[in-house]
A and B are shown apart, each in its own frame.
Chain A
Amino acid sequence: MDRLMKVNKSAELAIIDFFRLLLENDRVSGIFTLRKINKDDSVDYCLVTDENRLDEAIPFYPFMPANAGQILSRFSPMNKPVAVVIKPCELRAFIELVKREQGTLDNFLLISYSCAGVFPIIKTGDEPFEKFLPSYWETVKRGGISQGIRQTCKVCEHFLPMNADITISLIGENKLDSECKMFLNTDKAKEFAKDFEGEMLEEDLESPVINSLLTKRKGEKEDLFTELSSKYSGLDGMINIFGRCIGCHGCSRVCPICYCTLCDFESHNYDYSASILEREISQKGALRLPPDTIFFHLGRLIHMSFSCIGCGLCTEVCPANIPVSTLFIKIGEETAKMFDYIPGRNVKEAIPVTVFKEEEFAELGE
């Protein structure tokens, strides 16, 4: 049984009250949350320090303008922590970054929630998704898969936060509009929530509704992977999937795991000299230029897929409509499984390529 605090207000109002308490009592130096920019769907992440600006906050809005894990990693160490509300996949990204010494856990009071998924980034010509919102929240209460959310979210299994100090229960809560359940998972959370008014209860976050949603999503994922695996076999498969890639590298820019400022694939390490090009062309009779499109994708798959937390932003930003994240999630599952690794599960769990076991892979090395 987990310890939780029940507050008789909608989840959103309750958490904003909580923010207010944190700011008023000077327990945090700021609140990191989603906020509404204007009357359209425009939303950004924002650090709020003035409690009078808290009414702009929309912490659970189903949208991901950036992977917050990537943003948090840029906070240098601070005296007083910032309270953040981020999605489970963003939190896992942040944990992966902390492992890579790209962030500090002490900086934050980590708040997350059972996540029902987010809507895609609106591109030119797309209809705003606001019309889906009422039915979205109804689906959250029922624990279904909402219409219009991203493919990545429809197949995401890790929608319950790992490592959150506080977890807000949204999925399956049919009184979402009038009460809020805050699970206080750590001592830090209890400390920060001192004097916050609510009823203390013992309950499990996991419920039959959550479990049935998990089963539904697993099923969707299996279908998606089966469909994909029919496409990616061999060299032709790579061309099938990445043939229309324009090489913008947007997918790796938005990837929270790809934190390297001097990315190997952006370097001139793999430039072709005239003599190499001539040799290749004389052999093949024709050569795609620039030649390294698939090299880039395969290279990334090999060196970071085990840490892919499946936030889906790569697919989101791809101008060529390539299902980048589907492939990365699939391959990532395969590579992580080799080391019994789950990215973002535990900050103490070593990144697979930084450790080894003497007795493993004895079958390799002929």
Chain B
Amino acid sequence: MGEVKINNFKPKIVGYLCNWCTYAAADLAGASRLDIKPSINVIRVMCSSRIDQNLILTTFFGGADGILIAGCHPGDCHYDKGNYYARRRYALLKKVLETLKLDPERLQLSWISAAEGKRYATVVNEFTERIRKLGPNPINNNSYF
């Protein structure tokens, strides 16, 4: 992988955003004309707990360079406790990927409330930058996956 290629690399990021908080924050960020990297492809889910681990795996295996999961702050889930379950599942997923050294840093979990449009923009931009530095998901060059 040459330097040039890394510099031109535009990460593909999939964001699973909870309808009640982060999705609204994304809306707000857009309406406020904040500068957001165009790298993120948003998928709206009804709660962070909707995201089962196989969904993340298929996204990863499908070639996404980074995956952002974002929902309501702990304690604020629209369905009361969904995000606590989501957090446990995320922790499990991350532990397995970590142990097998399968690029766990391509995943991020964030809590962003509906009012935090600015924070949304920062999280997406910083995450994008991190992924850009990491480079493309090696799965995209691997005919085995």
Report A's interface with B, CB cutoff 8 A: 232-235, 237-239, 243, 264, 269-270, 276, 280, 283-288, 291, 294-295, 298-299, 301-303, 305-306, 330-331, 334-335, 338, 352-353, 356, 358, 360-361, 364-366
Contact = CB atoms under 8 A, between A and B. Distances in A.
A193 B64 CA distance: 62
B144 A288 contact: yes
Interface stretch (B3-11, B23-31, B38-46, B101-109): B101-109
Contacts of A264: 54
Contact of A353 (B61, B92, B94, B109): B92
A353 B57 CA distance: 18
B120 interface: no
B91 A331 contact: no
A364 B73 CA distance: 11
Contact of B101 (A237, A331, A358, A361): A237
Interface string B88-104: 11111111100111110
Given A364-B87, A365-B109, A366-B110, A356 B81 contact: yes
Contact of A361 (B62, B63, B88): B88
B4 to A, nearest CB: 20
B53 A299 contact: yes
Shortest beta-carbon contacts, A-B, top 7: A356-B84, A286-B143, A233-B101, A365-B111, A302-B53, A284-B143, A234-B101
Interface string B110-131: 1100000000000100000000
Given A237-B101, A284-B143, A299-B57, A361 B87 contact: yes
Nearest to B48: A365
A353 B102 contact: no
Contacts of B108: 366
Given A283-B140, A338-B91, A270 B58 contact: yes
Contact of B143 (A232, A237, A285, A338): A285
A353 B89 contact: yes
Main secondary structure of the interface of B (DSSP, over half): helix
A49 B145 CA distance: 52
B138 A365 contact: no
A336 to B, nearest CB: 10
A276 to B, nearest CB: 8
Contacts of B145: 235, 288, 291, 294-295
Interface in B55-95: 57-58, 61-63, 73-75, 81, 84-85, 87-95
B88 A238 contact: no
B111 A284 contact: no
A353 B85 contact: yes
Given A288-B143, A331-B96, A365-B109, 16 more contacts: A237-B100, A270-B58, A284-B143, A294-B61, A295-B54, A295-B61, A295-B145, A299-B53, A302-B93, A303-B54, A338-B92, A353-B85, A358-B75, A360-B88, A364-B87, A366-B110
B101 A298 contact: no
A264 B55 CA distance: 11
B contact residues, range: 35 or more
B58 A295 contact: yes
A364 B109 contact: yes
A359 to B, nearest CB: 9
Contact of B144 (A269, A294, A305, A334): A294
A301 to B, nearest CB: 5
A232 B89 CA distance: 22
Contacts of A291: 145
B106 to A, nearest CB: 12
Contacts of A294: 61, 144-145
B139 interface: yes
A62 B23 CA distance: 58
Contacts of B103: 234
A334 B141 CA distance: 30
A352 B74 contact: no
A365 B110 contact: yes
Nearest to B143: A286
Nearest to B71: A365
A352 B88 contact: yes
